[in-house]
Structures are given as C-alpha cells and as structure tokens.
Amino acid sequence: MIRTLYRAWLEFTSWLAALILWLFLLQGQVYWWQPLLLWVTFMVLFFLTRAWGYDPGAMPFTAVLALTGWAFLTRLNPTWATAQFWGVLAGSAAYLVGIWVGSRKLSYPLLWASAALGLVFVTALVGESAGGARAWLRVGGLRFQPVELARIALVIYLAQALSQGRSKYELYAILTVFFSVLAWQRDLGPALLVFFVFAWMSLAWKFTWPKFLLYLAATAGGFAAAFYFFPHLRTRAIAWLRPWDYLDSKGYQILQGLFALRSGGLVGQGLGEGMDYVIPQVHTDYLFAVIGEEFGLLGTLALLVAYLSLAFWAMQLLQDVPDQTLRLTGLGLSLLLHIQVFMVVGGILRIVPFSGMTLPLVSYGSTSLVAQLALLGLVTGLGQKRSVE
C-alpha cells in the first residue's frame, strides 16, 4: 500500500513540475511558488499522519484535487488562486485537528447537535446574503459559511443518535429545526445534501422498505414544497428541464457548461485555451465544466477517479473499526463529501437539478476547503488504522 502511494506521489510530482514550468516560463506567473509550497505541505501531512500511526492514504488524492483546483483558479484569476492557497494552508491545520478529534471518543450527541443548530441560527439572524441565500457570517475581517462546519457536527450527532437508539422525536425535531433554519436562509443545497446523507445513514444502520419509501416520499414532498415556496429554486428547475427555451436567461449557464464539456472532446483544448468567460460563476459553481473543456473527458474522468479513490480509502479504513458508532460516523462524513460531488457534477451534466454548491476540494471557497480537510482528518482519526510498513 505504501509503495503504491509513493508511486502516486512520484507521478503527481512530475505533473506538478510541468505545471510550475508552464506557469513560470510560458505564462510569466509570479505565483509559481504557491503550488510548490502546497506540495510540500501535503508531503508533510502525509508523513506526519503516518508517523502518528494513522493511515495517510487520503493525502495523495487530496493533493491532486486541491492542486488541480488551484491550477485552474490561477488560470482564471490569480487573486482567486491566492485565496485558495491560504485556504489550503488553513485546511491543513484543520486536518490535523480533525485527526485529534476523530481519534477521541465522540460523546455528548446533544452538544454536537447544539453546535450545528447554533451555527445556522446565528447565520440566519446576523448573516450576509450572497447568491440569494443568507449563508455568510462575518467576524472581524473573516467571512465564512458556517453551514460547512454545521453539517459535519450534525452528521456526528446523527451517527450517535441512530446507533445509540436515542428518541426518534428528538432526532426528527433536531432535523426539522435544522432544515427549517436553512429554508429560512434560502440555503437549500446543504439542506438537501444533509437529508440524503441522513437517509443513507439511517438505511445503512437498519434497512426496512417502509423507511425507504418514507424517505422517497419525503424527498418528493420536499421538492414540491421548495418548488412552490422558493422562486429561485423554481427558476433552476425550469432551466434544468427546458434550458433551450431560456437560452438567453435561465438556461444560459447550464447550456454554456454543456457546450464547454462538449468542446473538450477526449483530451481537451489545453490548459488556458477554454472560453471560461462565457460561463457565469465559473470559479465556484462551474469549475468542473472548465476542467472538462481544457482537459477533456480523460481529465474529468481522472478527477472523478480521485474522488472514488478517496471513497474507497475511507471504506477500507472504516471496515476495521470495531465500534459501530464510529463506523457510522465515518460513513456519514464520507457521504457528506461524495454525495456533494454527485450533486455538483450531476447538476452540470444535467442529470439532476443544479444545487449551487461547490465541487469539494477543487472549486473556489476557503470555508469549504477548511471543512473538507477537517472532515478527512476526522475520518483518518476514526479509522485508528496503523500505517503499513
């Protein structure tokens, strides 16, 4: 296993060296040192994780995803890439904290639930609006999205509530309040993500057909209610169903994303050769489309393989955990990341309605980077698996 990871590092280092040369010699970029420092950071995290006795297998794939995102953000706007650079560094510290927290016994479920509800409540009351949702909180000069951290805390609570047989009334009350506050904020993407994660965790813990049908009915009812009460969601649904009817308005972003992926073909137009300027919010919502245009089908498949490798690593790690609560917690955290990948990529490919969330570890967003690296640290800590010599 370790030899395979070393080989992955070597191949990744070769790609990174080519990227730095492209930035410095051909593009004249003065930020060529940032990917080099990020590479060193991920190497340090890899060996530090192993030295502490945990499995470092997430690091090579995380590095590929984070540095691919940095490369494309540099291509789009170096200011975005610099903010992403600092986000990765902050996230690296969060990863180490996550290992420490995950290696401890995660008790006090109501404390985790209170933390999740407190974060979204404060945001709803005094937060800032952007993109139609009151999802941002400003503390001094720091602006971040508390829901990114709140959903991690909620998943930790859900795992304990399901595995320890806590009152169903308590569980559903907490979920109802959480979803209601997010609806009040008009931040429906995270609400949908958390619901899917909860349903999967619940069915994984104890599968019954009535429960499965109940969750299907709740999904359909939630979509119908959101379609009726939230005009911006209605707009997205209409654009998803009939984008060609709204080429110059609602359907513009969806169609431009599809055009970009189609023009990429098998191997892409080449880094820096795409028409990113025609896609709105390309650095957050639609960075996957730019990657497809410039790296082609092979590039997007490589990106998805990195996500699948992270999922495989997590499942392999957690299967050796004897504690059922910790194993369910790890499953929920992994689902939190990978269901979001499906929702984002599926939205761009028009498989599902677009949720407006970012592609984990790749798209622009320091808060999401910190939360996702903390999540991977938690899974690493939960695994309690010694590295293979």
Q: What is the mean pLDDT of residues 12-34?
A: 66
Exposure string (b/e) for 237-248, b if CB count within 10 Å is 16 or more? bbbbeebeeeee
360's CB contacts (< 8 A; 6+ apart) are: 65, 307, 337, 340, 341, 344, 368, 372
pLDDT value of residue 19:
67
Going by pLDDT thresholds of 50, 70 and 90, the confidence category of residue 76 is confident
Q: Could you tell me if 7 and 58 are in contact, meaning their C-beta atoms sit under 8 angstroms apart?
A: no
74's CB contacts (< 8 A; 6+ apart) are: 23, 29, 31, 34, 80, 81
User: Which residue carries 């009334």 as its tokens?
Assistant: 169
Amino acid in the structure at residue 31: Y
In the predicted model, what is the mean pLDDT of the chain?
Answer: 87
Angle at 195 between CA 190 and CA 198, to 5 degrees: 125
pLDDT value of residue 373:
97
165's CB contacts (< 8 A; 6+ apart) are: none
Going by pLDDT thresholds of 50, 70 and 90, the confidence category of residue 127 is confident
pLDDT value of residue 107:
84
Residues above pLDDT 70, as percent of the chain: 90
Task: Return the closest-CA partner of residue 345 out of 262, 241, 257.
Answer: 257
pLDDT value of residue 386:
39
17's CB contacts (< 8 A; 6+ apart) are: none
Task: Return the closest-CA partner of residue 80 out of 89, 69, 64.
Answer: 69
Q: What is the mean pLDDT of residues 217-241?
A: 82
Domain ranges of the chain: 2-383
pLDDT over 70 (residue 3): no
Task: Return the closest-CA partner of residue 119 out of 178, 60, 192.
Answer: 178
pLDDT value of residue 179:
93
Q: What is the mean pLDDT of residues 186-201?
A: 92
pLDDT value of residue 387:
39
Query: Distance between CA atoms of 39 and 256, rounded to whole angstroms?
Result: 33
pLDDT value of residue 389:
36
pLDDT over 70 (residue 9): no
pLDDT value of residue 371:
96
Q: What is the mean pLDDT of residues 277-305?
A: 89
